[in-house]
Structure 1
Amino acid sequence: SFIFFFSVFSFISPPPSLTRRHRQELFSVMEKSRESNFLFCNLCGTMLVLKSSKYAKCPLCKTTRNAKEIISKEISYTVSVEDIRRELGISLFGEKTQEDAELPKIKKACEKCQHPELVYTTRQTRSADEGQTTYYTCPNCGHTFTEG
């Protein structure tokens, strides 16, 4: 899986003109912000957008938050390879999807449209001493029916 990190500190760094005391105070604020939900709006929960070095703004309800509250906060989230594959619609190598699978065909006319060939699957739906149920599907009209 992949882990992504986002650091607000990379966008806002303390100006070099700050005194040692102010830097300590600023880093103290940074430390406190790490412990809270600083990146989300207190009113609606939307992720805040950093508009300048002084404030962050909620794009939904337009409230603002002092940048001192969010400086150097890091968030991380994990995206698995399976998540990426699912999002892009990619299957594993050699894995066939339902649409890709080659179903067996039989020369039998469709009850509905008389198409001469049907695809079928079988399943044991009752006890082992009884026959299987065969499910037929017409590739032409999609009509399905069973036998057995």
Structure 2
Amino acid sequence: PVSQHFHLHSFFFSVFSSISPPPSLTRRHRQELFSVMEKSRESNFLFCNLCGTMLVLKSSKYAKCPLCKTTRNAKEIISKEISYTVSVEDIRRELGISLFGEKTQEDAELPKIKKACEKCQHPELVYTTRQTRSADEGQTTYYTCPNCGHTFTEG
């Protein structure tokens, strides 16, 4: 319930508002922090350990949670490593590119197989294969009918 949520945040606020800010940072740490501040705006990687809200970096000494008001030492933030992986599949999904999109020049280059379409009985299909499970299992084959656009998979 909302009242319990409010009381929990009030408790954290009262506990952490008494913590004093960290000692002054060296010039190098300040430069690193400003770099991290810029990266945090771009990648949204700084979150409150207590409530999960994104932290705000308005000082070179600490980051502050706008919800529960807890602070985090800037030296902790500087030591964080930012890493992430982007796959071709992630990019395809983000851009809304369908694996079975409209007919394009690329379709002419896809391999064909003499197999009837389940929907329109066209005698030939184009296909692609992909390893979607562990390496010790078989590949998944994606078939597309060049006549009606029907798609299906095997494996």
TM-score by length of 2: 0.34
How far did residue 42 of structure 1 move?
A: 2.1
How far did residue 122 of structure 1 move?
A: 23
* CA distance 1:7–1:139, shift in 2 (3 Å): farther
* CA distance 1:65–1:100, shift in 2 (3 Å): same
Deviations 1:67-100 (A, max 9, x none): 1222232121111121111122113487769999
Number of equivalent positions: 145
* CA distance 1:26–1:10, shift in 2 (3 Å): farther
Give the distance between the partners of 2:18 and 2:53, measured in 1 at CA.
Answer: 20
How far did residue 142 of structure 1 move?
A: 18
* CA distance 1:8–1:101, shift in 2 (3 Å): farther
Give the distance between the partners of 1:77 and 1:35, measured in 2 at CA.
Answer: 13
Indicate the larger mover: 136-145 or 43-52: 136-145
Unpaired segments ≥5 residues, structure 2: 1-10
Unpaired segments ≥5 residues, structure 1: none
Runs of 4 or more, structure 1, over 6 Å off, are: 4-38, 93-148
1 or 2, which has the higher strand percentage?
1
Give the distance between the partners of 1:97 and 1:141, measured in 2 at CA.
Answer: 14
Of 43, 49, 65, the match for 1:36: 43
Give the distance between the partners of 2:134 and 2:56, measured in 1 at CA.
Answer: 63
TM-score by length of 1: 0.35
Higher RCO, 1 or 2 (CA under 8 Å, sep at least 6)? 1
Q: Which structure is larger by alpha-carbon Rg, 1 or 2?
A: 1
* CA distance 1:141–1:52, shift in 2 (3 Å): same
* CA distance 1:67–1:82, shift in 2 (3 Å): same
Query: Residue in 2 aligned with 1:111?
Result: 118
Query: Residue in 1 aligned with 2:12?
Result: 5
1 or 2, which has the higher helix percentage?
2
For the pair 1:45 / 2:52, whether they are aligned, the reply is yes
Deviations 1:17-61 (A, max 9, x none): 989999999999999999999943121123423222101122443
Give the distance between the partners of 1:41 and 1:134, measured in 2 at CA.
Answer: 44
